[in-house]
Chains A and B, each alone.
Chain A
């Protein structure tokens, strides 16, 4: 099989079909700008997929699986495994090259808009410019009982070798835990005069995380005068970066976010060298 693939890759480099992009440029050591998946030869486009079809396992089901893989752009599709799962379903593993190419020049990413700071730098910045503790309230809202996300960011224990926000001397952290009702969250934020509210949504179904986030944002905007709403941050694996405005929050953090990133971001968003009035709780960064 690898001979076939190598041959295919060579053909596409040397003699692309009409309308087919040549792989010539991607065979150079410099990556891209046009790329495709890599199996064991540059440009071979090899991918593996597994899926289930609602068919009993027979020749027809295997044919359907190959057809499905072809429709996904795998050509030739190599059916390497098929197994009946009960009388009505069959599981397939398919390998093959995809014909698609990705132009990495077209990829849009949210570049980190803030500088990564050490915990010492975070503490220093807060002490020097905010001149009081930065108050953070965190919670899982709605029905989500999975505190792993919020705990990873807030608990001293932290995540990925970084200590959580509780570890930062210049921050006061209130972790309200799981299944916090939105009115309670708003009330707690008001009570402790939160600078930022961190909300985690890990397990979600039927877009509950989006509904919950919008409801949370609306509640805060109703309860606080404009410009004095705490900085609203949501995190969780199912949020799309770039949808913050749509959800009515200030920032979204996705899978793999570390406490250090959140702390650095909080300094970036809430602690500005311009905050020079220690006795007034400046909200300038928020209304900006």
Chain B
């Protein structure tokens, strides 16, 4: 049954990968320029990578990629460097062309050497992480304790993150400002203004990583940093994360499509590039299956989580990620008022554990049934922690009793960590003893969910639409996931998708796929 599920996921995913390999997006091209070292923004904070990609697109289109026209222009001495070229291009003063013959070879070679410097910077950050982990050590036990910081101001986030690490957090996630996923550019610099979170910028990444390096040294434990590679700039944010040594990134294959109404093709193209970067950078991805359960019923839709995990696994491995990098998500979202809700949670969590034995599963706390009754919420979080302990989850996102009330206060975090510590201390080893009988309710339920997942995958594979799209796209258009209908011809960011021409060149993708450093 498990093998069958995986093979169905592969069959559903394969045509989508082909689609990703035959398209590019403005964000993939911008990420390529970022790897070549182009940063900064104009006086209106529009990044130079946006200016340059837009100018190339206006001039010769993007179907050949930006690398050839850009390095051809540099080779013709239109400008001494990328930034100057971007500035000139922004003013409309550059005639781009798609070079042919020797000029093409030259542009290809020089773009590869420029982009390779960025790839090597990512490689060197990965080695640095490995060294720091050797020096400071990993957390003493799993699950790793994952805490969220979200003030909107990077300079407030830093002391909060350091305090959270001192209190026991192993992983700090800086929640992004809501709305960033729909920005088609990455903001620049250190930021102090965000809504319900802090903007993901290269400088913010750098500041927080440096602060946590200090704290890691102080605590003798390497504190990991997480952000979000999602939304319209997923490939660029993944690239910045690799360059600034972030350790985990939220990176779901379908989240943007379903919950942000981002065009499906845009998402899958951006997704593949960003996962290739994460694979190279040694970043652990976290997928977003918890989101399905916040919009659908957690019992009825349990199998959609399994299906999404299988698809995420396929897309991740195809992009080069290894098992240890797959923080596949799932969540404790069953209505606590239904009978046996805890046993059902155990069944679902165990299923994920058994399906993906080598992956550091990410276990997400209750949100949907947190009512504002903080006392009841504290108990629910305790039960959530207990499931995490009993089923050997890899990453435990700490639940807050004030979920749905306020963004967490200092005391909320402290109480939440006490809750986690108590449960892990009291029952952390329970996974060892917890082997529910094969004919019991928990195992039976797990088998049932898996069977439903296989059925759903078969339904997806049988799906078609008038345009002859891959079955998975047709299924997404039908509202198969999260009850949201997202046709491939709609959604935000569609105008940034370009079909590759036969002569498309992207040195970043070449280097990522071959593993080469030059």
Q: Taking beta carbons and an 8 Å cutoff, which residues of A are in contact with B?
A: 50-52, 83, 85-86, 89, 91, 142-145, 147-148, 151, 155, 157, 177-179, 203-206, 208, 237, 255
Contact = CB atoms under 8 A, between A and B. Distances in A.
A155 B484 CA distance: 11
B407 A205 contact: yes
B487 interface: no
Contacts, number: 63
B259 A145 contact: yes
Contact of A205 (B195, B296, B411, B484): B195
B178 A203 contact: yes
A203 B196 contact: yes
A203 B414 CA distance: 22
A237 B405 CA distance: 9
20 contacts: A85-B163, A85-B410, A86-B167, A143-B179, A143-B195, A143-B196, A145-B259, A147-B259, A148-B294, A148-B295, A151-B295, A155-B483, A157-B297, A203-B196, A204-B195, A204-B196, A205-B195, A205-B196, A206-B152, A255-B372
B22 interface: no
Contact of B260 (A50, A51, A145, A205): A145
A203 B404 CA distance: 8
A206 B195 contact: yes
Given A52-B410, A86-B166, A143-B178, 20 more contacts: A52-B409, A52-B411, A85-B410, A85-B411, A89-B410, A91-B414, A143-B179, A143-B195, A143-B196, A145-B259, A145-B260, A157-B296, A177-B261, A177-B484, A178-B259, A179-B261, A204-B196, A205-B152, A205-B196, A206-B152
A179 B179 contact: yes
Contact of B295 (A52, A86, A147): A147
Contacts of A147: 259, 295
B298 to A, nearest CB: 12
Contacts of B177: 143
Looking at chain B's contact residues, is the secondary structure mostly helix, strand, loop, or mixed?
loop
Nearest to A91: B411
Interface string B463-494: 00000000000000000000110000000000
Interface in B282-299: 294-297
- Counting chain B CB atoms within 10 Å of each CB, the highest count among A89, A155, A179 belongs to A179
Contacts of B259: 145, 147, 177-178
Contacts of B294: 148
A86 B414 CA distance: 9
A149 to B, nearest CB: 11
A127 B7 CA distance: 51
B182 interface: yes
A178 B181 CA distance: 12
A217 B415 CA distance: 41
Nearest to A85: B414
A246 B259 CA distance: 31
Given A86-B166, A205-B152, A148 B368 contact: yes
Contact of A178 (B152, B261, B296, B415): B261
Contacts of B409: 52
A147 B482 CA distance: 12
B76 to A, nearest CB: 41
Contacts of A178: 259-261
Contacts of B297: 157
Contacts of A151: 295
B336 to A, nearest CB: 15
A62 B166 CA distance: 23
B179 A142 contact: yes
Contacts of B484: 177
A157 B299 CA distance: 13
B372 A144 contact: no
Contacts of A143: 177-179, 182, 195-196
- Counting chain B CB atoms within 10 Å of each CB, the highest count among A52, A85, A255 belongs to A85
A95 to B, nearest CB: 15
A151 B259 CA distance: 13
- Counting chain B CB atoms within 10 Å of each CB, the highest count among A86, A91, A144, A204 belongs to A86
Interface in B358-385: 368, 372
A179 B260 contact: yes
B483 A208 contact: no
A39 to B, nearest CB: 16
B259 to A, nearest CB: 6
B410 A144 contact: no
Contacts of B260: 145, 178-179
Contacts of A83: 414
Contacts of A50: 411
Contacts of A142: 179
A179 B410 CA distance: 29
A161 to B, nearest CB: 11
A50 B410 CA distance: 12
A130 to B, nearest CB: 28
Interface in B405-450: 407, 409-411, 414-415
Nearest to B163: A86
B328 to A, nearest CB: 21
A28 to B, nearest CB: 31
Contacts of B181: 145, 179
A177 B182 CA distance: 14
A142 B177 CA distance: 12
